[in-house]
Amino acid sequence: MRLKNITKKLKKYYELGKKCRLRHFSQIFLKFGGEMMEIYGIGTDIIEISRIETSINRTKTFKEKVYTKNEIEHIEKKRNPYASYAGRFAAKEAVSKAFRDRSEKFFSLRDIEILNDELGKPNIILYNNLKDFTKNFVFQVSISHSKEYAVSTVIISKKDTK
């Protein structure tokens, strides 16, 4: 999308926000698959892959404290597992950031599982307190990495329960 088109869309959302007297960007509604959803939170995290590699090699229990058994099994099959570990770590941190200011941190990173579907798209699976708390939410996640960094962005939207 060209910068001119993006600017037009941002102006449109700004005017919509003024017209509806929105206090926060998170009150803007997104339309996913024909369903209207209010943004609950947005989180982004970036991490150096070498930091995760060092943590894994230095602390024997690091993987078991941060990743689920399914994640470890999936990642260990990869040619460059450290980039995948870092990407999933960034995604878990992005989920945590998307919840900031909205709830207490009542979950661990192991309560967030990132697994890929058959097409390779990452999906978020939640456990324990987080699963119960997020029954009415939809998660969108993107993970990417270069040689040195892994980055992830998560958008949490409220389901339209009407």
- Give me the catalytic one of 97, 105, 135, 159: 97
State the Cα–Cα distance between residues 98 and 78, nearest whole angstrom: 28
Distances (CA, A) of 45 to 42, 98, 100: 10, 10, 13
State the Cα–Cα distance between residues 25 and 12, nearest whole angstrom: 13
State the Cα–Cα distance between residues 121 and 41, nearest whole angstrom: 21
Do 124 and 139 touch, CB atoms closer than 8 A?
yes
Query: Active site includes 24?
Result: no
- Give me the catalytic one of 121, 145, 158, 162: 145
Query: Active site includes 145?
Result: yes
Task: Give the chain's largest Cα–Cα span.
Answer: 55
Residue numbers annotated as active site: 97, 145
